[in-house]
Structure 1
Amino acid sequence: MTGMATFYILDESQDEPTQQMLEKVSQLSALFCQQGMKTFIMAEDKNQAEAIDELLFQQTAEHFVPHNLVGEGPRGGAQVEIGWPGVRHAGHRQVLINLAQEAATFAPSFAQVVDFVPCEEAPKQQARERYKIYRMAGRQMRTLAIEEMSY
């Protein structure tokens, strides 16, 4: 089996859909961490990666997620590693959370891919292209509203 790809559709009625997406990334990171899965978060850019890093540091002690930016932290990276286009993740990871516009060329090495469908038309079209790429790669596809919790 080539794995699963889950797309979360952002809620247009939210004032801050990007913030909603980052909170979902934080929740999923914690969930995958509890399941013992190593996760790579591919941010849109270095600024977003640093914002996610900060968001994960703000979690309460019982929801803390061991994480680091690419190039920092322990050898092989922490449970959750955060990167951006142009940097390479450390070691084998089971889950890719993709926030970048392009489909990650290295996505086939992950058992699970999580992606997001933005509200704006141009990024939404890019999400459709990523969906097609993952589907053509033989992944089992599913689409959920951002409020839905899976896993």
Structure 2
Amino acid sequence: MAHARFYLLDSIGDDNLLPFVCQQVSDAFRQGRRVLIMASDKNQAEAIDELLWQLPAQAFVPHNLTGEGPPSGCPVEVSWPAASQGKPWPLLINLSQQVPSVAQRAQQVIDFVPQDDSARALARERYKQYRQFGIALHTEQATLTAND
């Protein structure tokens, strides 16, 4: 059964979302997992790409934007709704306001509950949609760890 984890951003604030995402990606890569990050748009995807390049050397994550990189792909791909995502990914990190179609084929989904009321309402709708897909749902507070 697929699982989805919603992280509440109350304790770290909406401004720390992208660093938190990079932390999650780095942890998943260290566990040998392949990850698709679904950004809200191409600008956010490029911002995530840049943040991943800025990780310390010991936390390096091989990644690329959709449509770039080697033909066989990288363990981590950063995409956005208008880009093509054909293959299923074991782990989907969703930053878009909608549930991407690839979510139904993921083994695990990470999504977020922002502090902003209108964004929080959209998160509730995504939560309901994941539940309709039969995905087991969990919620926890997001916490940032210090870089070594």
Aligned to 1:9: 8
Structure 2-normalised TM-score? 0.91
List structure 1 segments (4+ residues) > 6 angstroms apart after TM superposition. Answer: none
* Counterpart among 82, 85, 91 of residue 86 in structure 1: 82
Shift of 1:148: 7.5
Q: How much has 1:88 moved relative to structure 2?
A: 1.9
Instruction: Specify every segment of 5 or more residues in structure 1 that has no aligned partner in the other structure, as ranges.
Output: none
The answer to whether the 8 Å contact 2:88/2:102 transfers is: no
1:105 maps to 101
What secondary structure is seen at the aligned counterpart in 2 of 1:147? Answer: coil
Deviation at 1:113, TM superposition (A): 0.3
Instruction: State the 1:76 CA deviation.
Output: 3.3
- The corresponding residue for 2:58 is 62
Structure 2 residue runs of 5 or longer lacking an equivalent are none
With over 3 angstroms needed to count, the CA separation of the structure-2 counterparts of 1:57 and 1:148, relative to structure 1, is: closer
Residues 1-151 of structure 1 aligned to structure 2 (within 5 Å): 1=1, 3-11=2-10, 17-89=13-85, 91-147=87-143
Q: Distance in 1 between matches of 2:24 and 2:98?
A: 21
Length-normalised TM-score, structure 1: 0.90
Following the alignment from structure 2 to structure 1, what is the Cα–Cα distance between the partners of residues 59 and 102?
29
Between stretches 51-60 and 101-110, larger displacement belongs to 101-110
Closer/same/farther in 2, CA of residues 62 and 76 from structure 1, 3 Å limit: same
The total of aligned residue pairs comes to 145
Deviation at 1:36, TM superposition (A): 1.0
Q: Offset at 1:35?
A: 1.2
Superposition deviation, residue 144 in structure 1: 0.6
For 1:94 and 1:135, the matched residues in 2 are separated by 18
Letter paired with 2:55: Q
